[in-house]
Homo-oligomer: A and B are copies of this chain.
Amino acid sequence: MDPNISLITLGVEELDRAIRFYRDDLGFPIQDREDDSEVAFFPLEGTWLSLYPRALLAEDATVSDDGTGFSGVTLAHNVSTTDEVDAILEQAERAGGRLVKPAAGTFWGGYSGYFADPDGHLWEVACPDLTAE
């Protein structure tokens, strides 16, 4: 198995809402799609992101759609400065995300905070150096 994650798929309740959040508000590039397509792909620099209705994702994996609470998965977005961390958390909140953890210094010497996207998927926005403004 090559050491590579090709794609991360996030199950979403309302695909249109999730697309607006990632494409329009966060500015992620989206792959051309038909308006009635049930999936959206974002060709990112590393692993691609895709959005897919949660119920269909569970069905595709042949698992129950039931699930509540903490998913046990977080995505991280690393930037170079604390100002960028603050700006991205504000951007996500304005876009309908939820500020889960306001940015602050971390035990490992960096600076980070968390937001949840409209479906509750957790993103950490982090800068490695607490003093890099």
Q: How far is the CB of A64 from chain B (nearest CB, A)?
A: 6
Q: How far is the CB of A59 from chain B (nearest CB, A)?
A: 10
Residues on B with C-beta less than 8 A from A40 are none
* Contact size range, A: 35 or more
How often does this chain occur in the complex, in copies? 2
Contact B72 A69 (CB under 8 A): no
CB < 8 Å neighbour of A61 from B69, B91, B101: B101
Interface digits, A68-106 against B, CB 8 Å rule (1 contact, 0 not)? 111111111111000000001001100000001100000
Contact A100 B5 (CB under 8 A): no
Contact B4 A77 (CB under 8 A): yes
Residues on B with C-beta less than 8 A from A72 are 10-11, 54, 57, 67, 71, 119-121
